[in-house]
Amino acid sequence: MINNFDVLKVRNDFPILSREVHPDVPLVYLDSTATAQKPLIVIEAMDDYYRRHNGNIHRGVHTLAEEATEAYENARAKIARFINAKKPRQIVYTRNTTESINLVAQSWGRKFLNQGDLVILTEMEHHSNLVPWQILSEEKKLRLEFIPVDDNGLLDLAVYDELLAKNPKLVSFTHMSNVLGTINPAKEMIAKAKAAGAVTLVDGAQSVPHFAVDVEDLGVDFLAFSAHKMVGPTGIGVLYGREDLLESMPPYQGGGDMIKKVFLRSFIPNEIPYKFEAGTPAIAEAIGLGAAVDYLSSVGMETIADHEHKIVKYAMDLLTQVPGLLIMGEKEGKRGGVTSFTLEGIHPHDIAQILDQDGIAVRAGHHCAMPLHDRYRIPASTRASYYLYNSVAEVDKLIAGLTKIVKMFNG
């Protein structure tokens, strides 16, 4: 498969990749973990919607409203197929992964979790899978416990087993760390959680864009992910849910479209997924996400995963040779397309700023995972991340830039 993959051809699909960041300095985009770039097919799908089909969905009778509704719902069906959900009604549109997790916390959590209930999270979570549970816990007095991360960036599954013996109600964890690139053994962890009687939520923000994720195979109860990290637009995300769980959950927000009937003092909620989609949604963005799913499917998720694995391995081999550079997470084994690192004596902000001079976009900071950085006893790191459109030549530019920085500060 990988031999047939032409990264230059893929790059041509993304208009932004041909821009210059400074005069004669082309963009080297190594920040896809924060947000991915968009192929023309996604941009055009949204453009076409606004040029030709813009109308509010669901209750309109006129042609535009019909077309908008059809496109919006078609996208939902595409997304369901993409993650192998049984039915489109299991796909709830949200704003992003964060909102999807908040929806579960505020709807399912508020109804089904009670004082003293055990919720298992991990030390490598993004703030989006920590703070919603902390907020709920203020009200509910939950017991939040965390699976530790070992020095190789892997979850300590022995501790997970111990926690599972304490009657957990929910296990919620990231499929792939946005800092370490660790891909957690989700299927095994879900099976164990189920055996312990817990509901499971997987943060798929970094997995769904980068490799094939099959909700039926995983057996997961909830899966949250964002469009913008999978070459789709910002402003739209997805909560996949097990049908009976979604049915049992109360509405999260009230307003238009989430109701079946409204009286002055009461309402009857709409069926799923509309029950959770109050107000006019991000219609163009949903259609854009549908186009993104088409695009990723046309390239093939296995091809994408293979390519990223090749790039990240190449990057790891070279990064480890930069003097004073320490990579967070596992050095061997299979990691996702993320390399976070520190350079001795040089702050990540300075690294990112100087790399930008060479057109190289990386991220500096705690990447919304402050507890994970605390665990490694560092305030911040620099992160270079890779996607289907990145080439080995771009990795070479990163290495050259880092070598220059080391000389500048330590020379």
Partner 1 sequence: MDDLYREVIIEHYKNPGYRGTLEPNDISFEDENPLCGDHLKIDLRVDEKGNVSEAAFSGHGCAISQASADLLLESIIGKNVEDVKKLNKGNVLELLGIELGPVRLKCALLPLKILKAGVYGLGEATDELVE
**Minimum distance from CB of 348 to partner 1 (Å)?**
7
Closest Cα partner for 80 from 195, 215, 245? 215
Q: Are 191 and 199 in contact (CB under 8 A)?
A: no
Residue 42 vs 351, nearer CB to partner 1: 351
Active-site entry in 368, 370, 378, 400: 368
Residue 227 vs 405, nearer CB to partner 1: 405
Site for partner 1 (CB under 8 A): which residue of 357, 392, 393, 407?
357
**Minimum distance from CB of 403 to partner 1 (Å)?**
16
Helix axes 283-299, 301-319, angle to 10 degrees: 80
SS3 state at 191:
helix
Q: Are 251 and 275 in contact (CB under 8 A)?
A: yes
CA atoms within 13 A on the CB side of 289: 34
Q: Does 202 bind partner 1 (CB under 8 A)?
A: no
Residue 237 vs 359, nearer CB to partner 1: 359
**Minimum distance from CB of 370 to partner 1 (Å)?**
6
Beta strand 91-94 pairing with 237-241 = antiparallel
Q: Are 11 and 5 in contact (CB under 8 A)?
A: no
**Minimum distance from CB of 408 to partner 1 (Å)?**
7
- Is 368 marked active-site? yes
Residue 187's φ and ψ, nearest 5 degrees, are -60, -45
Question: 32-60: buried (b, 16+ CB within 10 Å) or exposed (e) per residue?
Answer: bbbbbbbbeebbebbeebeeebeeebbee
Q: How many residues bind partner 1 (CB under 8 A)?
A: 19
Residue 114 vs 353, nearer CB to partner 1: 353
**Minimum distance from CB of 254 to partner 1 (Å)?**
32
Residue 127 vs 310, nearer CB to partner 1: 127
**Minimum distance from CB of 382 to partner 1 (Å)?**
11
**Minimum distance from CB of 366 to partner 1 (Å)?**
5
Binders of partner 1 in range 297-356 (CB under 8 A): 345-350, 353-354, 356
Binders of partner 1 in range 358-377 (CB under 8 A): 364-366, 370, 373
Cα 320 to Cα 230, 278, 314, 328, distances in angstroms: 28, 49, 10, 11
Binding map of partner 1 across residues 378-407, x = CB under 8 A, - = no contact: -xx---------------------------
Q: Are 103 and 92 in contact (CB under 8 A)?
A: yes
Which among 116-124, 152-160, 280-288, 357-365 is the span making contact with partner 1, rule CB under 8 A? Answer: 357-365
Residue 169 vs 373, nearer CB to partner 1: 373
Residue 286 vs 405, nearer CB to partner 1: 405
Residue 318 DSSP one-character state: H
Q: In a 10 Å sphere around its CB, with 0-12 CB exposed, 13-18 middle and 19+ buried, how is residue 177 labelled?
A: buried
CA atoms within 13 A on the CB side of 92: 36
In angstroms, what is the C-alpha Rg of the chain? Answer: 22
Q: How far apart are CA 340 and CA 142, in angstroms?
A: 32
Q: Does 408 bind partner 1 (CB under 8 A)?
A: yes
What is the binding site for partner 1 (CB under 8 A)?
345-350, 353-354, 356-357, 364-366, 370, 373, 379-380, 408-409
Residues that are catalytic: 368
